[in-house]
Chain A
Amino acid sequence: MKNLIHILIFIFTSIHTNAAGLYDIKIHVKGLVCDFCARSVEKTFGKNKAIESIAVDLENGIIGLNLKENTGITEEEIANLVKSSGYAIESIEK
């Protein structure tokens, strides 16, 4: 039983780690609680030409970004986009 629990914990942690590694950039934001309001994230970030796809994780307050090949985005640009979406930035993981 104990082994089974350890295996389940291992599998869960692996899945979680893989999911976290899905994005080129992970932005931790404050205030991201409402789905209806968080549409602004998709609309605002979607206008940036460097961004390929956007994912919103309401549970953990994370915006995940995948970038187009040979493109980049500065932290200042990210901060401006988060502000324009109506949220406050906590940290950025690249």
Chain B
Amino acid sequence: MILKNFSSINLIIIYFILLCVITSNVCSRPISYPNSWTLMQKYNWEKAQLHVHYSPNIKNSLGILSAFYYNDKAILHAFQWNYLILRNNQKRAQSNLYSKLHLGGIERKTIHNDLKKNRFHGSYSLSYDWETRRHFFLFASALDYEDSSERFSYHQKVRVGIAPYLAPYGKIHTWIMLQLEHKPKELLSENQLIIASFVRFFKGDLLCEIGVDSNNKILFNSIIRF
């Protein structure tokens, strides 16, 4: 009855507000401003992840990461260190090269599907991004190590984005993005190359991304900084 009094546009607005309040910020910045905390949440076809980090300066961030992988019901807990290797500030553009390292343990079910084994898990990745007020480009490549028979795996990601309008500072900013994710070691061929399109919104210290991938799976990321 109450819902009947709302127009569909009101419901969409309420939905997005709730979405932002419940989850809040993931993005372009693996390191925040000096002496700040960042909470990053990721939800996609592969995993649900939560990452909390502290940035003592603009070059480093140290944090804890936890993820749950749906396919093999694996749980990862790790320490993560992000480092800004290089930043190039230009008049109308900025580019960054980051290194990201995480070391921790992953708990997977055995082939008998009952016992769990905790194994060492590490990952090192390099990520390059370039952006103007209108365009965005990102390339990231990661090498993962796990103490198991298939020790090494790698994956890479490309993102391109365009801002449909240029909002002034402090207003809601919107980006339309396309992402290609290449995971050659995935068992299912449909998961080896995943294309996702999504919309990124941000305002103030809050950012969220929502979209859908080529397997019709929902993608939702969010970040909040404080």
Contact = CB atoms under 8 A, between A and B. Distances in A.
A49 interface: no
Interface stretch (A1-9, A10-18, A68-76, A84-92): A84-92
Interface stretch (B145-153, B179-187, B201-209): B201-209
B30 to A, nearest CB: 12
Interface size class of A (residues with CB under 8 A): 20 to 34
B202 A36 contact: yes
B164 interface: no
Interface in A41-93: 43-44, 55-59, 61, 84-88, 90
B89 to A, nearest CB: 3
Interface stretch (B39-47, B102-110, B119-127, B165-173): B165-173
Contacts, number: 78
Given A30-B91, A31-B89, A36 B28 contact: yes
Nearest to B58: A86
B156 interface: no
**Chain B binding site: helix, strand, loop or mixed by DSSP?**
loop
Most buried by A among B58, B89, B94, B133: B89
A20 interface: no
B132 to A, nearest CB: 6
10 contacts: A29-B89, A31-B94, A33-B133, A34-B133, A35-B169, A36-B28, A37-B29, A56-B169, A84-B58, A85-B33
Interface of A: 29-40, 43-44, 55-59, 61, 84-88, 90
